Amino acid sequence: MNPEDSSPQVPAHPPAPGQPIAPPAEAPAPPQPSAPVMQTAAPAQPSVPVPREPVRKSSTWKWVVGIVTALTLCAFVSCGALIMFAAVPSQPFDGFALPSGENIALIHITGAIAGGSGGGFSEFASPEAIIDQLDQAVEDPSVKAILLRIDSPGGTPAASQEIAMEVARAAEEKPVVVSVGDVAASGAYMIAAQSDEIIASPTSAIGSIGVIMQIPNYEELIDKVGVEFTVLTAGEQKDVGSPFRSITATEAALLQTEVDVVYDEFIRMVVEGRGMSEEEVKELATGFAWSAVLAKDKGLVDSLGTYNDAVDRAAELGGIEGEPGIVTYGIEAYGPLMDMLFGITASLDRIGSLGQSLTAPTHQPLPR
């Protein structure tokens, strides 16, 4: 059928006689185009702020701070009490028995040797602190011998010689034994040489008899940076050793003379302390530090052994029978305990700060 033919359709089969003929079906009306519909957006509703739940402040941090403060105060009170009694020497006790009066004074010489107050919790050994302990050991009637525990690479010549001279004087009153830890070199060996005997572990570093002076020169670096120094002096050699210029030949000769003077004093102290000839000491005064095994063969060490061996030898020289007591003087007697207390205080302070940060209320914006 032609789609363009709009004539009425005739049924394929004619109706039977007497049957009414149904009118033809009307073609459906074509769809009418719909008019555009305008949609108006509903007015935006004003946003209602969501009420925020109040943050509950925890009181835990207050307890943490209170506990830390109380423990800190207790620590400082304990430290103060210990400092008040620091001048009282620690005495050994056997159960509830009183000290027998047969004791050894233990004095530590640890770290670099230099002038200053030192002692206590200082990182260097000073003449003031060491000499004070030597004097107490000599005057203490319960002390029969002095044991120097040395673990030092040396230090300044003047400070080392000052201690060495006092050790020699103490050795005239009571036996003095040296126990070497890792090292007794340079100025520390000058001190050790004044004792009656030196006992060291086989691998301890011994000797280093010599003197060194180092003068840096930053002149070229200063020129590159573009910095200029104006130096005003009164005295021709007042700025000898300045790191901002090279030293002159005259200045080098002056400094070398000073080094030689200290070197000769070092050799003299070892000769007198060890009872060796000057030629023997000069042969060993190369600045080299030997292991105690080799140092013993060269006459710089008397025997190889441990700290306990040195204690036994000091007791023997002091005429102590039985187990000797160990006496220490000054704040050094309470050094480990004081270090522990200060360490606890610092740890508690850190814990308190952490507790405050963990329990403090945090303010974070809620989602809208």
Q: Which residues carry out catalysis?
A: 186, 238
> Would you tell me how many other CB atoms lie within 10 Å of the CB of residue 74?
13
**Cα–Cα distance, 147 to 108 (Å, whole number):** 9
Please tell me what DSSP assigns to residue 125.
Answer: B
DSSP string, 170-218: HHHHS-EEEEEEEEEETHHHHHHTTSSEEEE-TT-EEE-----------
DSSP 113: B
In a 13 Å sphere around the CA of 318, the CA atoms on its Cβ side amount to 33
* 178 neighbors 109 (Cβ within 8 angstroms): no
Q: Which amino acid, one-letter code, is at 244?
A: F
> Long-range contacts for 129-132 (Cβ within 8 Å, ≥24 apart)?
129/330, 129/332, 130/163, 130/166, 131/162, 131/163, 131/166, 132/329, 132/330
